[in-house]
Structure formats: structure tokens, C-alpha cells
Structure 1
Amino acid sequence: MIITDTHTHLYSEQFDEDRNEMVQRAIDAGVSRFFVPAIDSTYINAMLELEKAFPNNTFLMMGLHPTHVKENVTEELAFVKKWLDKRTFYAVGEIGIDLYWDNTFLKEQQFAFKTQIEWAKEKNLPIIIHCRDAFNEIFEVLEAVSDDKLFGIFHCFTGNLEQAKKAISYNMKLGIGGVVTFKNGKIDQFLSEIPLEHIVLETDAPYLAPTPFRGKRNESSYITKVVDKLADIYKISSEEIAKITTQNSKNIFGI
């Protein structure tokens, strides 16, 4: 069984004590492909070290995370562009809009989101969308830039059925992780109405650990709990869930 974790922050400081062991646990559990999003310029060295340590399993993205969009947005975007032009990345992400903590930099977030979408289109790369308390704002941008070059993943999807269908209409897969196992997560109540061809798996490790690890540090091996939950929702085997979602990820990332 080959499982793909389409969104995991393996370079996080939370893994500094046991990173190699944690990655090996995931590989032993069948997780052989890790797609790693960027946050801002301060993480590039850690990302490159991770890729060096696990060259056959790690696939890096490049982008500016919306919660790290501040006064220096132009500077940070220039950094993203420099690296996108410098070497291969597998997606532009994670990018988007986050109004959960603060809406001070909404205009800058919108600007950064649109700018990075354009770069993704130029390079024929998928975008990885971060959306928190910002579905309307995200959809407004996607509507403005929608064309046949727009595609990607709506990371950590936590919306309702209508929002899920709208995201898919913009050629986005839904990134499903630990939230689907939460009693109050709600997405498990309608997910069976979304064809499995629109779903990819993720952990967002070290965040959002699935039940029974909720509240603890998440890691990529825990994605098996997400696989099992989807097998229950879709009434097919865990092996079939892994196979279909990994193929979906290959269709997105081109590998």
C-alpha cells in the first residue's frame, strides 16, 4: 500500500529531536511520498536539508504562507520568485488567505495570493491553498483568475458541501486530513457525496493530529487513521483509498 502525504511540514522545529525516526515510521507505515509546503524565507535551509536527507521521498513546494504576509511582503515575494526560477519545485504553496488571527494585512494577502497564482500558471504548477475564515475572499480571487491553467489542492478543507463543490469547480482537489476523524469536524457528514477522484490525503503535520492522537503532535505515519476513516465513509478498502488518492496526487503534481 503506497500512501501519499500531500501536505506535511517535516522541517518543523517540533521534529528536531526525532525527525529521522519520525520519517522512518511513516515510510514503514506505507507513506513513501511527502509533499512539503513552504512558509517563508526563513525555512528554506531546513527544507533543503530535509530534501537532502530523504531525496527519494521528499518533494518541495515554494510559496509565502498567508499568516507570514506582513509589511515586507514585496521582499518575501521576491524571495519566492527567485527560488521558483532557480530550481524545480512541485507546487506553489502554501498560499492563500487567513483571517483567523488577524485581518490587518488582508490587502497584502490578496496581492500575494494573486501574484503567486500567476507564477504557478506561468510554470504550469499546482497551487496549494491555505484558507482559514476566508472562503468568500478565497473564492473571490479564484473567480477572478479562473482559467484552464488554474489547478491545485484546497489544503486542509474544512468547509461545507456547497463550498467543497465550489472549490472543485475551480479545478481543486480537496486535501483531507485529521479533521475528518474529529467528532465535530463535520466534513465526514457529506464527504461521501464528493467523488473520490477529487480527494487527496494529507496530515499537515505537526498540526491537526487525527483521533486518537488529537491534541498531540501530528506526524505523517498517522495518515493511516485518515485512510481508515475514508475507507469507512466510502465503504471500500483502505488499500483502494490509498491507491486512488495517490493516483490523484500524481495527477496534480505530475509525478
Structure 2
Amino acid sequence: MVNLIDTHTHLFAEEFDEDRELALIRATEAGVLRLFMPNIDDTSVEAMLALCNTHDGCYPMIGFHPTSVDADWKRRLAVVEQWLRSEQTFYGIGEVGMDLYWDKTYRNEQMLVLDEQIQWALEYDLPLIVHCREAYPELLEVLKPYAGTSLTGIFHSFTGTTEDAAQLLAYEGFMLGVNGVVTFKKSTLPEVLKEIPLERIVLETDSPYLAPVPYRGKRNESAYLVKVAEKLSEIYERPLSEIGLTTSENALKVFKKAEGSF
């Protein structure tokens, strides 16, 4: 069995309320032994910590998702910051980023919120878990002043072009997160990944979303990460064991704080 790390799963979400413990067992049985959990916003922290603080191998992160930015964002972001500055241990700042797919109303506010959370990542020496949808120009604009800093992290759910990858990988402390999208029939990602070194890739599910083939359309879970690894084995023409080892090493380069707890 190949040991894998799911660098992005929302197992604390309500979609798992009926069988969360079983989902954890299924992940372990599939060889997915470490689960990194990005927070969503001020309303999700307690559910995430209730899970992570009672289960080995579950690592909480703290952040404010761009789609949660609304008219009350200052107060809500302050709640998240209080958690960050509490005695609770977090392993990354996330999920943060830019999302203009659904709504552009709070574009500028999203940029401000992202910038503040980048500063948290630098202050605490934690990796940044970055979500971006229909907003690459804005994301790169916010990131630009931090080029050359010690900032590290993951560009989560990468589905871009070779050119997008080059711009993102110019940030040398970052990896690209690859999930079930790579298994989709019409995905262009397999061709793009052939131009990207495996040493810059980490695996993720983004469960309960983006289930890989043959589970597409169903609820995703961490056990299905194996299907993503199998697809990468095919793309890179390397044994599954090597995919597991390399992507897990890559994850530990990002989540330095977690390394000692493995």
C-alpha cells in the first residue's frame, strides 16, 4: 500500500455528519494517513477543531475563504484572527485567495483580505493555501510585493495553463495542488502537468468536492486520493510508490511544522 497525504480536505463539513468516522477509517485503509484541513471562515473553525483535536493525522489550518468576504468582512476576519492568535496550533493559513467566478461585488475587499492573510503567513512562518477562480490577475497583483520573501504554500486545485503554472511556480516556496479534476475526461491538466516537475506537485481531494473518476458527481472523500495518484503515475510514467513518496515529501516541505509530528 502506498502512503499518501491529502493536503486539502474539508472533512469537518456537514456533508460528512452521517459517516465522518467511517470516512476517516476508509482514508486510513486506502493509505491516506495525513489529512490537512483548511478552514473556511469564522463559522467553521469550531467544527474543524472538534475533529482535528480529537484525531491523530488531522491538521487544522486557519483562514478566511474569498467567497465568504461580504459586507461584514472586517468583523468576521477579526474573529478568524483571534483564533490564529490563540493557543491553538495551526499548520497553515488557509483557505485564502481570490474568487470572482460567482460575484465580483467584493473584488477589492477580497484583495485586502488576501493581503492581510499573507502577512499572517509571514508573521507565523506558516504556508499559505491559495484558492483562485477566475481571478489570476488579481491574485498575482496581490502576491507581487511578496516575491522574494520567505512566503511558502500551495496553489490549491490548480487547473491552469502551462503559462499560468510558470507564473505561479516563480514563487519558489510554492507547490501546485492537484486533485480529481486531473481524472476528468475533458481536462487539459494531464498535458499541462507533463511540463511541470513532479517535485512541485502535491496531492489533494478538496473533499467533499471534485470527486475523481469513477466517483465523479458523488461526494468526494480522502480515500479517493488514490485515484489522483494513479492518474499521476500514468502521466509521469513513474511507479505509484514513487508518486506517493515524492508528493508526500513535497507536502512536508510545505508543512514544516507538521513534520515533527509524523
Match of 1:119 in 2: 120
**Cα distance per residue 1:57-95 (max 9 Å; x no partner):** 100000000000111111122112211111221110000
Match of 1:129, SS state, is: strand
Match of 2:234 in 1: 232
Confirm or deny that 1:108 pairs with 2:121. Answer: no
Equivalent residues in 2 for 1:74-223 (5 A)?
74-86=74-86, 87-171=88-172, 172-223=174-225
Q: Percent identity?
A: 49
Give the root-mean-square deviation of aligned CA atoms: 0.9
Q: Which amino acid aligns with 2:185?
A: K
Distance (Å, rounded) in 2 between the aligned partners of 1:167 and 1:232: 24
Match of 1:64 in 2: 64
Q: Give the TM-score, by structure 1 length.
A: 0.98
Match of 2:23 in 1: 22
Could you tell me whether the CA contact under 8 Å between 2:42 and 2:77 is conserved in 1? Answer: no
Match of 2:33, SS state, is: strand
Stretches of structure 2 lacking an aligned partner (at least 5 in a row): none
User: Deviation of residue 249 (structure 1)?
Assistant: 0.4
Match of 2:176, SS state, is: strand
Structure 1 consecutive aligned stretches of length 4 or more whose deviation exceeds 4 Å? none
**Cα distance per residue 1:182-212 (max 9 Å; x no partner):** 1112111120211111000000000000011
Distance (Å, rounded) in 2 between the aligned partners of 1:69 and 1:168: 27
**How many residues end up aligned between the 2 structures?**
254
Match of 2:73 in 1: 73
Could you tell me whether the CA contact under 8 Å between 2:8 and 2:35 is conserved in 1? Answer: yes
Q: Which amino acid aligns with 2:181?
A: V
Q: Select between 144-153 and 190-199 the one with higher mean Cα deviation.
A: 144-153
**Cα distance per residue 1:27-86 (max 9 Å; x no partner):** 1000000000011111111111111331x2100000000000111111122112211111
User: Deviation of residue 168 (structure 1)?
Assistant: 0.8
**Cα distance per residue 1:191-242 (max 9 Å; x no partner):** 0211111000000000000011111100100000000000000001111101
Could you tell me whether the CA contact under 8 Å between 1:156 and 1:177 is conserved in 2? Answer: yes
User: Deviation of residue 144 (structure 1)?
Assistant: 2.3
Match of 1:47 in 2: 48
Match of 1:35 in 2: 36
Q: Give the TM-score, by structure 2 length.
A: 0.95
